[in-house]
A and B are shown apart, each in its own frame.
Chain A
Amino acid sequence: EAQVTQNPRYLITVTGKKLTVTCSQNMNHEYMSWYRQDPGLGLRQIYYSMNVEVTDKGDVPEGYKVSRKEKRNFPLILESPSPNQTSLYFCASSRTGGGGGYTFGSGTRLTVV
């Protein structure tokens, strides 16, 4: 089944403790992206990657890192999480970019206390 898999689904952590949210797709898509979803602010892009070893900032990249060492994986790294990063995070992929339509993961609900 074609899918984007994120882990974990739920995570509660403490301020300053480094964490990684994993994202993997099995569709051989070139493009991958991370969004966060917040009430009243909608979906905002954090980072994206057009291909292996090519990443770029989205609209809200502060406090996040990403890497794209393999085509299928695009982990989101929070080096020193803060409470304002409490959010629902989605990984998405597509063949080229947004124009083809995204396939989304099921989401990761992160709480930073």
Chain B
Amino acid sequence: GNSVTQMEGPVTLSEEAFLTINCTYTATGYPSLFWYVQYPGEGLQLLLKATKADDKGSNKVFEATYRKETTSFHLEKGSVQASDSAVYFCALSKTSYDKVIFGPGTSLSVIP
């Protein structure tokens, strides 16, 4: 079946470090891929998405590239801040009308 695997962490970084959170997926065809972020005590927020191979999802500070050949969608940020401390979820949806399937989440802690 369809699934998402991501590094579970916790990941601890110092401010200004480079961030990579790995995500791989299992699905047939070309699912849409997402990254969501959950800050403490809040609901999930959509961070970025990509809908086809080689698409680069971006929200100006976070990026992820849809790699069909490696079935991956790794999240990157060039310089993290303490305010980036949160849980990050990789996710997929087979079609526009299907539900979202979430990975287990990766907890990130950024130390000032």
Contact = CB atoms under 8 A, between A and B. Distances in A.
Contacts of B96: 96-100
Contacts, number: 58
Interface residues of A, number: 23
A102 B105 contact: no
Given A97-B93, A99-B93, A101-B49, A107 B32 contact: no
Interface string A14-43: 000000000000000001010000000011
Nearest to A102: B100
Interface residues of B, number: 24
A14 B44 CA distance: 28
Interface in B4-24: none
A102 to B, nearest CB: 6
A97 B42 contact: no
Interface string B36-49: 10000011111001
Given A33-B99, A97-B98, A102 B46 contact: yes
B34 A101 contact: yes
B98 A102 contact: no
A13 interface: no
Given A104-B43, A105-B43, A97 B104 contact: no
Interface of A: 4, 31, 33, 42-43, 45, 48, 50, 58, 90, 92, 96-107
Interface of B: 32, 34, 36, 42-46, 49, 51, 89, 91, 93-100, 102-105
